[in-house]
Amino acid sequence: MTIALERAGFRDLEKILGAGISSLDITANEKALVTSRYQEVGAILNEHWAESTANNEVYVQGSFALGTMTRRFHRKDDVDIDLVVLRGIQASSTTQADLKKDTGAGLRKFVAASQGKPLLVESERCWTLEYSGMHMDILPAVPDTSPERGSDDGILITDHDVRSWQRSDPRGYAAWFKQVAREEVMLKEALLAKRGVDVDAVPDWTHKTTLQLAVQALKRHRDIYFTGRLDKRPSSIVITTLAARAYQRGETLFDVLRDIAGSFVEHIQVINGQYVISNPVMPEENFADCWANERWRAAALFEWAEAVSRDINGIAAHSGNDNVLKSVQMVLGESAAVAGARALSNPFVEARQAGNLRAQHGTGTLAIAGAVTTTRPVRDHTFHGGRM
């Protein structure tokens, strides 16, 4: 980075971090495209099951539902969307194999009618619609009506390798995650309402909590850290769960991010010699169950946890916006650092373009004309130092 402005204060750090992490999100156009595609999937499947009186539903789960989606970083990374196709019938009226096969037949109709012409691929539990730069994993499910369900939104899902239906509760998990930061959400909504803003009309992704932003930051650092060994990356569900358990509302975004990064491993349990990261809405499900046979997964997570804590603490360990931006680049990547720099320097860019940017004699500190007494003009240039 070649931008060097005044010494970074907390306000500057918050501006840099907020803009940098926000740049990791997928765009509004990508969100709209995802929404239109899964709504089209739902419409075609409803037609496919038109003779049935059951109520069917398609909804998102995972990072899209949680507001923690991140843009692609590696060339092989797609925008990854997880959908549930909830067939409103009793599990006793079908089998896992029949539900999976029937859902696939409906999805083939969608592919034939879709302008995007995605490729339909079958896997153990789900179907996948593969687009250029995006794929949608579509999980067939029926309602879980048993007393053992996680919540009223619990579902039963198919799995090729087991005979019994498997329990899941993505909506229950999303509700838990959002409830963790509910106090912060209420404070933000109160501020919006005080300004006369209709809170219900504001899209969720435009007023994210510090927990959501922290999860996005952790996921991006993970993707950078595991460059060259992507198969060793800790899963997003593990990172999200541990981050939410470590979350404590702080005064600033940096406080929250630093505290989560420094403590999330403390929320990994060891029971009878086995690592346990329990599903908060279905405690019998262990997100770390595969670590027992794949010990390298635990080693990779603990190694990365030490690195991310060190790198995030390093953001505030240096003075000067240029050094802060270099540290942000290490944690979040170059594009996020550029976004932070632009957010920080917008007033200076506008002043430079208007010919009002000045440098104080003897110090070189940048200022807008009228703000200081002794200044000299600053020539117009690009952020990379060249003439425009």
Q: Parallel, antiparallel, or unpaired for β 134-143 and 79-86?
A: parallel
pLDDT-based confidence at 387, cuts 50/70/90?
very low
User: 104-157: per-residue pLDDT in tens?
Assistant: 999 999 999 988 889 999 988 899 999 988 899 999 999 999 888 888 999 999
Q: Which of 6, 165, 27 is nearest to 96 (CA)?
A: 165
Structure-token match 């989606």, residue found: 69
Question: Which domains are present in the chain?
Answer: 10-23+182-323+325-330 (1.10.1410), 28-176 (3.30.460.10), 354-388 (no CATH)
Q: What angle do CA 217, 221, 224 make, to 5 degrees?
A: 140
Question: What angle in degrees, to the nearest 10, is found between the helix axes of 253-263 and 10-22?
Answer: 70
User: Region 293-305: what's the mean pLDDT?
Assistant: 97
pLDDT (0 to 100) of residue 47: 94
* Model pLDDT, residue 295: 94
CB proximity list for 286: less than 8 A, separation 6 or greater = 274, 276, 277, 278, 279
Distance CA(142)–CA(99), nearest Å, equals 9
Q: Which long-range contacts (CB under 8 A, 24 or more apart) does 296-305 make?
A: 296/232, 297/232, 297/234, 300/226, 300/232, 300/233, 300/234, 301/234, 301/238, 301/265, 302/265, 304/222, 304/225, 304/226, 304/234, 305/261, 305/264, 305/265
Is the per-residue pLDDT at 37 higher than 70? yes
Q: What is the pLDDT of residues 344-384, one digit of tens each?
A: 765 544 444 445 434 444 444 434 344 444 444 434 433 33
Top pLDDT among 372 and 46 is at 46
Top pLDDT among 66 and 192 is at 66
Model's pTM, two decimal places? 0.82
The pLDDT score that the predictor gives to residue 317 is 80
CA angle 120, 125, 131 (to 5 degrees): 25
What does the pLDDT read at residue 202? 55
Report pLDDT for 238: 98
The confidence band for 203, taking pLDDT boundaries of 50, 70 and 90, is: low
- Supply the pLDDT for residue 290: 94
Residue-wise pLDDT tens digits, 250-286: 889 999 999 999 999 999 999 999 999 999 999 999 9
pLDDT in tens, 161-176: 667 899 999 999 999 9
Q: Which two tokens stand for residue 28?
A: 């509004």
Query: What's residue 11's pLDDT?
Result: 72
pLDDT band per the 50, 70, 90 thresholds, residue 245: very high
pLDDT for 191: 77
pLDDT of residue 2 exceeding 50, the answer is no
- Model pLDDT, residue 198: 66
Sorting pLDDT into bands at 50, 70 and 90, what band is 200? low
**Percent of the chain having pLDDT more than 70?**
81
What is the pLDDT averaged over residues 54-63? 92
Instruction: Give the pLDDT band of residue 243 (cuts 50, 70, 90).
Output: very high
350/295: higher pLDDT: 295
HSE-CB at 144 with a 13 A cutoff on CA atoms is 24
Say what the pLDDT of residue 134 is.
87
Long-range contacts, stretch 330-333, CB < 8 angstroms, 24+ apart: 330/224, 331/217, 331/220, 331/221, 331/224, 332/20, 332/21, 332/24, 332/217, 332/220, 332/221, 332/224, 333/24, 333/73, 333/220, 333/224
Residue among 272, 339, 267 nearest 305 (CA): 267
